[in-house]
Amino acid sequence: MRFVITLSIFFLAVMIHEYAHGWIAWKLGDATAKSQGRLTLNPIAHIDPVGTVLLPLILFITHLVTRAPLILFGWAKPVPVNFRNMRNPKRDMIWVGLAGPTANVLFAVLISFILKSPIVMMSPFFTAILNVAIILNLVLAVFNILPIPPLDGSRVLMGILPRKLSMEYAKLEPYGFIIILGLVYLGLLGTVIWPLVIFLSDLLGASL
């Protein structure tokens, strides 16, 4: 039951994340996502076989085997963006990259206000669900801001780097999933992500 609720919250978080990318791209001049039906809150349109299904499944199996805390992270199918349609492609790449993590952080802030309401505080069940929702959104935001292609942090870095370096850096994208799995296997991903997640969750009054 807990896994089903956690997975549902995860789907909601990645849906909001991808919608934010598409919306910002649209506002900056690129209507590709909108024209292809990806500017939607329908979670089915954003499911990625690897980031939304395979990686969470691997993490869940790892949780069952090792009894480590269950925390899901991953990514959705990237919304199509044509940066050439934008007014300032290199600069706007940064804003599009930041949109998803920012949306998750803002969603976590909104949930934290609900968490503090007297009615919710009287229910341990709803308190636990909202705490999970806050943590998942923060994990998703922090994870995606890592500068590993194709995560959002790589888009930000590509927008900052000089053009030649940016093009060389983009060549890492086919190996991104392998790099992420390697970091998970070595236990380094959690070492990078958790300190910031704990810091942000403390600010929002959420408990792990």
Q: Which residues are catalytic?
A: 18
Query: CB–CB of 105/141 below 8 Å?
Result: yes
Query: What is the token pair recorded at 166?
Result: 């940016």
d(C-alpha 154, C-alpha 38), whole Å: 21
Q: Name residue, tokens 């690897």.
A: 50
What value does the CA radius of gyration of the chain take, rounded to a whole number of Å?
A: 17
Query: CB–CB of 74/52 below 8 Å?
Result: yes
d(C-alpha 179, C-alpha 173), whole Å: 10
Task: Tell me which amino acid residue 7 is.
Answer: L
In 108-201, at which residue ranges do the beta strands (DSSP E only) sit? none
Task: Give the three-class secondary structure for 98.
Answer: helix
Angle at 145 between CA 92 and CA 184, to 5 degrees: 150
Query: CB–CB of 147/154 below 8 Å?
Result: yes
Per DSSP, 151 falls in state S
